[in-house]
Amino acid sequence: MSMTLTPVKMPTLVKRMFPNYIWDIPTTNKSIYLTFDDGPTPEITNWTLNVLKQYNAKATFFCIGNNIEKHPNIFQDILNDGHAIGNHTHNHIKGWKTKTKDYLKNIFEAQNVINSQIKTCHTESFDCVQDKPCRSAELKILNPKLFRPPYGQIKPKQGKQLIELGYKIIMWNVLSFDWDATVSNENCLNNVISKTTNGSIIVFHDSVKASKNMQYALPKVLEYFSEKGYRFESID
């Protein structure tokens, strides 16, 4: 995606065209929903978790299944800090260029990894979100079927089938453009500050590609909105 083609704030028309997808969380409360795509990533995800902790902020991490397999300890750190988890496919594939059958298979592969890691954490460790092994009901609450399509690319048929299977497709209404090398760190910050309102779902990336802009903007976003009385919540 490029800023020349994709707006920072999602137009209302687009949201109306796809009303079954979640673009924001309607609320009158001062709540903001930070999301992080593409992790877990060594050092960068851990840095992100430490910064969020400083502001008592919760977020939602849309993880790539293959990255979870490579870095299970970092994934457990996300869980231990009480953040929500979402599915971002197993290999970060593009829905528009993938057959629906193959796309769903890739998503299910990632979901199996997520479910396995969460179950491992909460049946074998007492140092977790709830400080005890979780029962099946608690596991369901901890692991809702949240899905975000890589690049925002998903065919209507793919989305329809996922929703029928109980997934919530989480899009966004504010893009930071932290991954775009043509965007300065100041503009990345301004993208978020200038467009965020109550209930906004904001996209950052805990990836190597986005790290320079994200690590500049995130602490300033947290400080700016905290001073204005906002809370940072996960999508549950």
* Whether this model's pTM surpasses 0.85: yes
| CATH code linked to domain 12-232 | 3.20.20.370
Judged against a pLDDT cut of 50, whether residue 231 lies above it is answered with yes
List the domain boundaries for the chain: 12-232
CA distance 185 to 207: 15
Judged against a pLDDT cut of 70, whether residue 95 lies above it is answered with yes
Please state the φ and ψ torsions of residue 223, each to the nearest 5 degrees. Answer: -65, -45
pLDDT of residue 42: 98
Mean pLDDT of 70-93: 96
Specify the range with the lowest mean pLDDT, choosing from 14-23, 58-67, 162-171, 217-226.
14-23
Query: Mean pLDDT highest for which of 14-23, 64-73, 121-130?
Result: 64-73
Mean pLDDT of 109-122: 85
> Across the chain, what does the average pLDDT equal?
89
Residues 139-178 have pLDDT tens digits of 444 556 999 999 999 999 999 999 999 999 999 999 999 9
pLDDT of residue 5: 62
